[in-house]
A and B are shown apart, each in its own frame.
Chain A
Amino acid sequence: MSMVTTLFVITLVAAGLLGSVYSVTKEPIRLAELKKKNDAIKVVVPGFDNEPSQEVQRLFMDGDSIYLYTARQGGKILGTAVETFTNLGFGGLIKLMVGFAPDGTIIDIAVLKHSETPGLGNKMEKGKSDFSLQFMGKNPENFKLAVKKDRGDVDAITASTITSRAYCDAVARAYRAFKESQNAE
């Protein structure tokens, strides 16, 4: 067999294999990603009885999109979960889900995606340190979203100022998006 035919056959078989695996795993991957998103919304705006992932609004901000999910209970707005991002992390992109009550108070924050250093920056995750707890119940209106080094109100994670700054940046962006969507209404 010539070189070309051999390589052609091999790539063809490989493509066929990948196609079939893809079609099998497509649905589980979609469900796993949806579940992750829904779990995060559940954490940051608990108690809703609608499908927030169906009530989604998309905003463009700083070169990427921000998604706002409306959580309702019995038709009344319970809060908004904002999927936000920052590129300032020590390992680049960080994605957070921030829950706002209708008056703008932060209910809770969940980390969706990050590549921060384990043992240092990943302390922004809930349960790894108390860092994320200080945002709960605060309203960015009178709580400056910046670390104390930058004259803000946030206690940074020890030895992880870059991550703490990025976290604040993402939350501040979420708040801007939240305000923007409220003004548009």
Chain B
Amino acid sequence: MQWHALTELLRKVKMPNDMNQWKNFSKGLLKENAVFVLILGMCPTLGVTTSAVNGLGMGLATTFVLVMSNMVVSMVKNMIPDKVRIPAFIVIIAAFVTVVELVMRGYSPALFDALGIFIPLIVVNCVVLGRAEAFASKNTVLSSVLDGAGIGLGFTMALTILGTVRELLGSGAFFGMKLISGDGLLLFILPPGAFLALGYLIVLANMIKEKTN
């Protein structure tokens, strides 16, 4: 028994570093998916996913903020006194969100109009602060960047899937291309449809997760 524990420990120590790094990235995609598993960041998830493009745009904007804030937080983690770490993280996150907002307004005004109020609200997205607090403030820069990218892409994937489902059912379109004429099930465009679609997607994600285990 003790021998077994020792080999296990050795295996962990000897495990190549890049393997761990791959895990830092990949866990955010399904195993710790922010939307389907951790059920975090519900406000933008339910709010903007009326179309696949909106979900994709919101996801990518959040991913950028996540990667940048994780990187900076992990760089300055040793300089920040514990008592002021939350305000410090929020300032860092808010700075990057404002960068995204300014760039989007200048170079992609149509997307900015579609996402509207949800862009500034990335600041209070608990996924972003959650990763800064739970991961970036304890890990190296590389691990934190990979963690941010993984969680961010998992978030993007979830939002895009949810947006696609709602758009397909609600307006009979796929990424803005009309597949059927007329209206779809309007319910799925409205807020209750967001909850319904998300609920079934969570069931699906859990089934996939159990199969892969």
Q: In the complex, are the beta carbons of B116 and A118 less than 8 A apart?
A: no
User: Using an 8 Å CB-CB cutoff, how does the interface string of B72-116 with A read, 1 for contact, 0 for none?
Assistant: 000010011101100110011011001100110111010001001
- Please tell me if B189 contacts chain A, counting CB pairs below 8 Å: yes
Contact of A25 among B81, B95, B102, B183 (CB under 8 A): B102
- Please tell me if B62 contacts chain A, counting CB pairs below 8 Å: no
Contact of B84 among A3, A25, A29 (CB under 8 A): A3
Which residues of chain A have C-beta atoms less than 8 A from B50's C-beta?
Answer: 118-119
Task: Identify which of residues 12-30 in chain A touch chain B, using a CB-to-CB cut-off of 8 Å.
Answer: 14, 17-18, 21-22, 25, 27-29
- Please tell me if B121 contacts chain A, counting CB pairs below 8 Å: no
Roughly how many angstroms separate A117 CA and B190 CA in the complex, as a whole number? 7
- The A contact surface, by secondary structure, is helix
Instruction: Name B89's closest neighbour in chain A (CB-CB).
Output: A10
Which residues of chain A have C-beta atoms less than 8 A from B88's C-beta?
Answer: 6-7, 10
Q: In the complex, are the beta carbons of A3 and B81 less than 8 A apart?
A: yes
Number of A interface residues, CB 8 Å? 26
Contact of B170 among A18, A32, A113, A119 (CB under 8 A): A119
Most buried by B among A29, A36, A120: A29
Roughly how many angstroms separate A119 CA and B49 CA in the complex, as a whole number? 13
Q: Assuming the A-B contacts A7-B84, A32-B109, A113-B113, are A17 and B95 also in contact, with contact meaning beta carbons closer than 8 angstroms in the complex?
A: yes
- Please tell me if A55 contacts chain B, counting CB pairs below 8 Å: no
- Please tell me if A180 contacts chain B, counting CB pairs below 8 Å: no
Roughly how many angstroms separate A18 CA and B79 CA in the complex, as a whole number? 22
- Please tell me if A73 contacts chain B, counting CB pairs below 8 Å: no
Q: How far is the CB of B42 from chain A (nearest CB, A)?
A: 19
Q: In the complex, are the beta carbons of A33 and B109 less than 8 A apart?
A: yes
Which residues of chain A have C-beta atoms less than 8 A from B94's C-beta?
Answer: 14
- Please tell me if B186 contacts chain A, counting CB pairs below 8 Å: yes
Q: In the complex, are the beta carbons of B116 and A21 less than 8 A apart?
A: no
Contact of B83 among A3, A27, A32 (CB under 8 A): A3
Q: How far is the CB of A97 from chain B (nearest CB, A)?
A: 15
- Please tell me if B33 contacts chain A, counting CB pairs below 8 Å: no
Q: In the complex, are the beta carbons of A14 and B95 less than 8 A apart?
A: yes
- Please tell me if B143 contacts chain A, counting CB pairs below 8 Å: no
Which residues of chain B have C-beta atoms less than 8 A from A1's C-beta?
Answer: 79, 81
Roughly how many angstroms separate A6 CA and B79 CA in the complex, as a whole number? 7
Which residues of chain A have C-beta atoms less than 8 A from B83's C-beta?
Answer: 3
Task: Identify which of residues 26-49 in chain A touch chain B, using a CB-to-CB cut-off of 8 Å.
Answer: 27-29, 32-33, 36
24 contacts between A and B (CB under 8 A): A2-B81, A3-B84, A6-B79, A6-B80, A6-B84, A7-B91, A10-B80, A10-B92, A11-B91, A14-B95, A17-B99, A22-B102, A25-B103, A28-B106, A28-B107, A32-B107, A113-B113, A115-B116, A117-B189, A119-B183, A119-B184, A119-B186, A119-B190, A120-B186
A interface residues, Cβ below 8 angstroms from B:
1-3, 6-7, 10-11, 14, 17-18, 21-22, 25, 27-29, 32-33, 36, 113, 115, 117-120, 159
A1-B79, A118-B51, A119-B183 given; name 14 further pairs at CB < 8 Å. A6-B80, A6-B81, A7-B87, A7-B88, A10-B88, A17-B99, A21-B98, A29-B105, A29-B106, A32-B107, A36-B109, A115-B116, A119-B184, A120-B186
